[in-house]
Every structure is written in C-alpha cells, then in structure tokens.
Structure 1
Amino acid sequence: MLPLRTGVTLSELQRYVAEMEAERGFTQSTVSEQARLGEEVAELFKAIRKQADLPVDHRSITGTVAEELVDIAIYVRAIANRQGVDLEEAFGEKESLNEERTWWPAGERPES
C-alpha cells in the first residue's frame, strides 16, 4: 500500500482506510467489532491524563494523544465505510444543521 500523502480530503482519507483494511484483512470485521471505538476513546483519555501528569494505571499501555486520535479517526472511518456513510457529505449536511442552532458558551445556557 502506498503511504498516505499529506493534504488529503476527508473522502480520500475514508477511501484510504477502506484500502488499508482490505490490505490488512479487516474487511470481514463487523460493526460490533468496530464498536471497539470506545476502547480507543478510553486510551485517548489515558494519554491526555498521562500528558497532564495525572495518575494513570501503570499497567496501561497507552500511546501519545496524537496516536490515540489517529486510532479513533481510523475506527470512525471504518464504521462509516461499513454503514455506507460518506463522511465528507455527512459532515457538510450536519454542519448545515448546526449553523441553524443557537450555541451557548459553557455555563451560560438559559433554563428551558
């Protein structure tokens, strides 16, 4: 597989993950297996704690914040591929909805 070039679009990155999974034999994994995303998020939180010199279980094997973010990005794209979601298209659609929302700074949201 060719190395990932810099400056790729969201769609190109999603295609890259599909090709990477095929090359590594991950094409038969199910969405429930892809739900390991939660484990990757936990590893990200541990990496953030480690970076902030907060206590982390000494038995935990945790990468850097950047490494864990990449793992999460790969899982998200893999799930999108399994579900037939074009993330670039979905991102645009979701942001169009978000533009219509009223956003409140943390702690300033009025009572409903």
Structure 2
Amino acid sequence: MKLPSRTDRLSYFQKYVAETEKERGFDKETALEKCLLLGEEVGELFKAVRQHKGIKTDPSSDTHEIGNELADILNFVFALANRFDVDLAEAYAHKETLNSVRSWT
C-alpha cells in the first residue's frame, strides 16, 4: 500500500489543536507537562482495553471508551509536535519512507 499523497487533513488537525489550545488556555503548558498528560491518557487507553477484553479492573473505577482515549492521545501528540515545531504530516511521511526499505523479518 502506498502512502497517501494528501496529508493536508493531518496538518489541519495539528493546526486545529494549536488553535483550540489557545482558546482553552492550554497553550502555556510545557512539553514536559504534555508528556505527563500523554502518559496519563495512555494509561486510560490501557484500562479501556482491559475493560473491553474483560480483564479484571477495579469495579469502582471509571469506564473508558477506546475511541475517546485514542482521540485524547492523538490530541496530545499533536500538541507535543506543536511544542517542538514538528510537522507531523512531513515527519510521518519521512519515517514511512525509511520504514518502507527496512527488513521486517
């Protein structure tokens, strides 16, 4: 499968996150703070997967939706990319170009 030539949607979402962070007052959070928040969201994703797979969890803990947690993670990834001036569309395309010539055996 070829990498799509259109990456404008990914760039749009990255810009959207930058704007909504300003509107919501999150644009002053540091990269370190964003990393810690990302880690929390990954933990919530793990809990959602455990719940989905029927693995025992604390019955008093909140229920998490896998899609919502993935969206939260994506939001923090975009925010981190913005903190480091990384164009995720370009970075992803570049990394996939490197991956396409790697041996995976």
- TM-score calculated relative to the size of structure 2: 0.87
> How far apart are 1:82 and its partner, in Å?
0.4
Q: Distance in 1 between matches of 2:13 and 2:93?
A: 16
- Counting only pairs closer than 5 Å after superposition, residues 24-103 of structure 1 correspond to structure 2 as 24-35=24-35, 36-103=37-104
> How far apart are 1:90 and its partner, in Å?
0.3
Aligned length, in residue pairs: 97
- The structure with the larger Rg is 1
SS of the residue 1:9 aligns to: helix
> How far apart are 1:38 and its partner, in Å?
1.1
Q: Distance in 1 between matches of 2:80 and 2:100?
A: 25
> How far apart are 1:85 and its partner, in Å?
0.3
Runs of 4 or more above 4 Å deviation: none
- TM-score calculated relative to the size of structure 1: 0.82
Contact 1:43/1:62 (<8 A) preserved: no
> How far apart are 1:63 and its partner, in Å?
2.0
Residue type at the aligned position of 1:12: Y
Structure showing greater relative contact order (alpha-carbon pairs closer than 8 Å, 6 or more residues apart)? 2
Structure 1 gap ranges (5+):
1-7, 105-112
Contact 1:47/1:64 (<8 A) preserved: yes
SS of the residue 2:49 aligns to: helix
1:18 and 2:56 aligned: no
Q: Distance in 1 between matches of 2:20 and 2:26?
A: 8
Match of 1:5 in 2: none
> How far apart are 1:54 and its partner, in Å?
1.1
Aligned Cα root-mean-square deviation (Å)? 1.2
| Structure ranking higher in helix proportion | 2
